Amino acid sequence: MTLAIAKSCGPGRPKDLEKRAAILTAAKRLFPLYGFEGTSMDTIAAEAGVSKLTVYSHFTDKETLFVAAIRARCVDQVPDELFDVDFTGPVRGQLEAIARAFLGLITSPEAISLHRLLTASGGTTPKLGQLFWDAGPLRMRESFEQFLRKEVEAGQLEIPDITRAASQFFALLKGELHARLLCGCTQSISTQDIDEHVYATVDLFLRACTPRRAQLDG
């Protein structure tokens, strides 16, 4: 067995994957703090404990790393598994789980900071906003669309326009809570406020999307 093969068969993660993870961790922390323009690849490399050459070997440029960091942050807080349909339980339970994870993501200090930075620079760097949108909000909406589509096919929900419904669900969740955070009117949201908001939002969504026959039977 060659030395290269022996290393690949050894315990633990390969070094290149560990370095990639360290780079992403640094990027997820630094971009929300200093914005895209204010975060250099040198700074990310230093925080990750790797060389700048290593950063570029994993991510071809800063835009690629920015997109990867946004995706990674979203997956950290809203895992793909949340959108796997579980027909053994009620739809409400899954909707509430998705809602809580989404609220946790968008109300986090990192997300609020990045949102403010993107808004401030939106006029000068519209491409950056599009990159963020495609890597974060669009990915989330498309994942939720797939979830809703499966529930509709199973007869659990009745939705004539799935794309619009998915967009409206997340817009309802943002509501006044998210706006208050963005405006600096509050620094945090209580657990009770989140619980009540999630329940009310999911309840309203289900009233609109539960099949009419099920509503009559209920």
Q: What is the pLDDT of residues 12-24, one digit of tens each?
A: 456 699 999 999 9
Distance CA 28, CA 9 (A): 30
Rounded Cα distance between 53 and 49, Å, is 12
Q: What is the mean pLDDT of residues 29-37?
A: 93
pLDDT digits (tens, 9 = 90+) for 39-61: 999 999 999 999 999 999 999 99
pLDDT(4) > 60: no
Q: What is the pLDDT of residues 61-74, one digit of tens each?
A: 999 999 999 999 99
Structure tokens at 57: 């070997």
| Main-chain dihedrals φ then ψ at residue 169, nearest 5 degrees | -60, -50
Give me the pLDDT at residue 2, please.
Answer: 37
User: Among residues 83, 103, 104, 105, which one has the least CA distance to residue 94?
Assistant: 83
Per residue in 84-123, pLDDT tens? 999 888 999 999 999 999 999 999 999 999 998 888 876 6
Closest CA to 25 of 60, 80, 65, 79: 65
Tell me yes or no: is domain 13-65 CATH 1.10.10.60.
Answer: yes
179-196, pLDDT tens digit by residue? 999 999 988 888 999 999
Q: Quick check: 129 pLDDT over 50?
A: yes
Distance CA 107, CA 190 (A): 11
CA 122: distance to chain centroid? 20
Class for the domain spanning 78-217: mainly alpha
Q: Which helix (H) or strand (E) holds 89?
A: none
Identify the CA nearest to 96 among candidates 3, 218, 199: 199
Helical spans, DSSP H, in the chain: 3-9, 15-38, 41-48, 52-58, 62-77, 91-106, 109-121, 126-135, 137-153, 162-183, 191-209, 212-217
Reduce the DSSP state of residue 40 to 3 states and report it: coil
- Domain borders along the chain are 13-65, 78-217
Whether 142 has a pLDDT exceeding 70, the answer reads yes
Single pTM value for the model: 0.86
Neighbours of 48 (CB within 10 A): 21
Residue 90 has a pLDDT of: 92
pLDDT at 125: 75
Least confident of 169-178, 183-192, 209-218: 209-218
Nearest in space to 200 (alpha carbons), one of 76, 103, 89? 103
pLDDT, mean over the chain: 89
* End-to-end Cα, the chain, rounded Å: 67
